[in-house]
A and B are shown apart, each in its own frame.
Chain A
Amino acid sequence: MAEKLGQLSQTTRLRILIAKPGLDGHDRGAKVIARALRDAGMEVIYTGLRQTPEMIAEAALQEDVDAVGLSILSGAHNTLLPRVVQALRERGLGDIPVFAGGIIPEEDIPGLKAAGITAVFGPGASLEEIVRFIYEYTPRRAHRSA
């Protein structure tokens, strides 16, 4: 009931962009994450398939998101994910944490982290883990209690 009272005033919510860079055509994983984040009380902006790094960065900017999640199954992660980080930095959004999920081999993770990806979640990662990560890494959490 406290929640009901709270709803009467404007509330602050974490806003998360979930995007699929590149050409792969399966977004079940991305949708599962989107739902889990919604259920955790976040506002999830889902861009759909086949996004270029520029489209993702522009969406992150216009939507003023607190974190960007990238789902990629195509195997092009070593090329595309650093380009998303780059496109975010070009727009002054280098402080936004970027996490990735999908089919990403263990040995590629250090390189991706060096390129600015904050975290990589494999197929075995739990949804709780991802939600916890977002709470921990969203920079504006202090005045955006979710």
Chain B
Amino acid sequence: MTNALRVSPRELARLISGLERGDAEAQQRIFALYRQPPRAHMIGVTGAPGCGKSTLIAALTRVWRRQGSTVAILSVDPSSPFTGGAILGDRIRMGELSQDPGVFIRSMASRGAQGGVAQAAADAAIALDAAGFERIVIETVGAGQSDISIVHLADTVVVVEAPGLGDDIQAIKAGMLEIADVLVVNKADRPEAEAAFSTLAAALELGEAVTGHHGPAGVAGRISMPPAHHRSADGWRVPLLKVSALRAEGVEAVAQAIALHQRWQAAHPERAQERAAQALREHLQSMLLRAALDRIGEQQFNAWALRCAARELHPAEAAAQLLASVVKEGDCA
């Protein structure tokens, strides 16, 4: 492993903590590292709670380790909006991997910050890249905003679905399918998996591959057939794959699809530009918000919030007035 960062695993772990805290020194190190061309392949894995993301990531990691690649995993789970605490349990499915020096697993809580998941995880990923990890997996729960911002972190987004988590309308309305570069139906060992697969395939209007090659496959082992797919907005054919992560069936096909997408996206730099623009927007947004709140002050903020609660005025009116009052004082830097 080429460790440009020249840090021990412990220092790496502490650097990530610094990034989570928003520590200025840790951020300066990331700013310097960002100027280096990235080497790692960043893979986002997202899906509803219980769809088997962690088990799939563990199975994929075993495949990559057999192929000789080093792997870092960033698992993001939500913080409690009430106490700020969190239970981070993704290591449960990754057991023995934690003893492999070629694998680094870090659990992160979303900490409820504006774009917080995206920013701290993106910076942690840069640190892991510099530390020499070749495949960096960022795992987020597909609920709320964090799953969308994963698109702006990852070179390749894997969306995991599982039988019994909702009908085809759920699949479409959740917006998860549009962000997928690789679509996986997990838990193929279950009898309902075939139905989930067909529903998803039909929902995506996959066309030929579904009716032509797949038939009643049901068994994950048949995944070596030409995968079903649909075409993403930027022209990539999104494969739909059936997997039993638990039985490690079909996992190599997922690894293969990820590798194919890695090569494809390397030839299509538009995504990277779009991601940079989005990251810039998110940073601007959170800096503006922080600058505005600094000027408004806690007391005034709370007073206005109370007025909104009392229905004296709509929060949008309050925001406009507050903003006007702070902008008048000068620039918004």
Contact = CB atoms under 8 A, between A and B. Distances in A.
A29 to B, nearest CB: 15
8 contacts: A7-B84, A9-B22, A12-B20, A13-B111, A34-B87, A46-B91, A54-B99, A62-B105
Contacts of B9: 61-62
Contacts of A12: 20-21
Shortest 4 CB-CB distances between A and B: which pairs?
A10-B22, A48-B92, A38-B85, A64-B13
Contact of B107 (A7, A41, A63): A63
B66 interface: no
B89 A40 contact: no
Interface of B: 9-10, 13-14, 16-17, 20-22, 79-80, 83-89, 91-93, 95-96, 98-99, 104-107, 109, 111-114, 116, 120, 286, 289-290, 293, 298, 301-302, 305
A125 to B, nearest CB: 20
A96 to B, nearest CB: 11
B226 to A, nearest CB: 38
A5 B293 contact: yes
B138 to A, nearest CB: 15
Contacts of A91: 10
Interface in A88-145: 91-93, 144
Nearest to B100: A58
B302 A61 contact: no
Interface of A: 1-3, 5, 7-13, 15, 34-35, 37-48, 50-52, 54-55, 58-59, 61-64, 91-93, 144
A85 to B, nearest CB: 17
B289 A5 contact: no
Residue of B84, B93, B114 with most partner-chain A CB within 10 A: B84
A1 B290 CA distance: 16
B22 to A, nearest CB: 3
Contacts of A144: 21
A57 to B, nearest CB: 9
Nearest to B20: A10
A12 B19 CA distance: 10
Contact of A37 (B85, B89, B91, B106): B85
A50 B92 CA distance: 10
B92 to A, nearest CB: 3
Given A10-B116, A37-B85, A39-B83, A61 B92 contact: no
Contacts of B111: 7, 10-11, 13
Contacts of B120: 10
A58 B99 contact: yes
Contacts of A1: 301-302, 305
Given A61-B13, A62-B106, A8 B88 contact: no
Contact of A13 (B16, B105, B109): B109
A124 to B, nearest CB: 24
A50 B91 CA distance: 12
A15 B20 CA distance: 12
B99 A92 contact: no
B84 A11 contact: yes
Contacts of B79: 43
B88 A39 contact: no
A48 B89 contact: yes
A51 to B, nearest CB: 8
A11 B80 CA distance: 13
A1 B293 CA distance: 13
A35 to B, nearest CB: 7
Contacts of B298: 2, 5
Contact of A38 (B86, B92, B116, B301): B86
A64 B7 CA distance: 14
A112 to B, nearest CB: 24
Contacts of A93: 10
Given A2-B298, A46-B89, A91-B10, A41 B305 contact: no
Nearest to A143: B21
Given A13-B20, A62-B13, 20 more contacts: A8-B113, A8-B290, A10-B111, A11-B111, A35-B87, A39-B80, A41-B85, A43-B79, A44-B86, A45-B88, A45-B91, A46-B91, A48-B93, A50-B95, A52-B99, A54-B99, A55-B98, A55-B99, A61-B10, A61-B13
